[in-house]
Amino acid sequence: MSIDVKAQGEQNSIQFSGIVVEGDSSYGVPGAHVYIKQAGKGTVTNHAGFFTMPTQVGDTVVVSSVGFAKQEIVIPKRDDLGFTVLIEMREDVTELPLLEVFPYPTKEIFEEAFLALGEQKDQRIENMEKNLSQEKLTMMSNALPMGATGNYKYYMNYRADQIATQYFMETANPLLNPFAWRDLIRSIKKGDFKSKD
């Protein structure tokens, strides 16, 4: 059994922190993974690209994010308790080959199906023409809800009304006024609403 004995005052634990940025820009990379390769534990960067985590001297820290090449940093032996770095991530763009998807397995079968269409009109084409007619499009555009500008104007007018009337009493609803009901009933009994021929 071997025991790792440290000399008095020698520090093995280091607080590793830093900012992960895009290349040579000052834009932080949010959500980048920063983990210790040997231990399999780590953290992620915040919205500004900052991170901090405890490490040991000699740990290999891997920094990775989608769209960027991985970077590895070995924690050096230091006299102080912290190690801070600025990590510039390099873009790693992978272009996938073009993939074309066809509904028919071979060109010959496609030609047969296309020629079989002939001059007959497909039901889908009729529906498309009906749904894209000018009167149908006009009807749909009139039924659309307000857009961003309309919603903004509505909200700003609403807030302006609230501010303008915040110190005024609310207007009373005449249907809840018992005196208005009394006057209405008296008028009906007197015949004020009868039509005079």
| Confidence check: pLDDT of 73 > 60 | yes
Strand partners, 19: 50, 86
Structure tokens at 193: 């609403």
Could you give the residue range(s) of every CATH 2.60.40.1120 domain in the chain?
A: 13-89
CB 4 within 8 A of CB 71: no
**Helices of type H across the chain:** 107-117, 123-131, 134-142, 148-164, 178-190
- Closest to 189 in 3D by CA, of 174, 173, 197, 181: 181
Give CA–CA dist 5/38, Å, rounded: 21
* Nearest of 30, 83, 31, 28 to residue 55 by alpha carbon: 83
- Number of helical H runs and strand E runs in the chain: 5, 7
- Contact assessment for residue 17 and residue 50, using Cβ atoms and an 8 Å cutoff: yes
Say yes or no to pLDDT of 79 above 90.
no
Checking if the pLDDT of 42 tops 60, the result is: yes
Looking at residue 179, its amino acid is F
Dihedral, CA of residue 100, residue 106, residue 108 and residue 113, to nearest 10: -80
Please tell me the predicted confidence (pLDDT) of residue 5. 46
Stretch 10-19: mean pLDDT: 82
Quote the pTM value. Answer: 0.45
- Give the residue-averaged pLDDT of 2-8: 46
Q: Hey, what CATH topology would domain 13-89 get? A: Immunoglobulin-like (2.60.40)
How much is the average pLDDT of 102-130? 78
Q: How does the average pLDDT of the chain come out, rounded?
A: 83
Q: What is the C-alpha end-to-end distance of the chain, expressed in Å?
A: 119
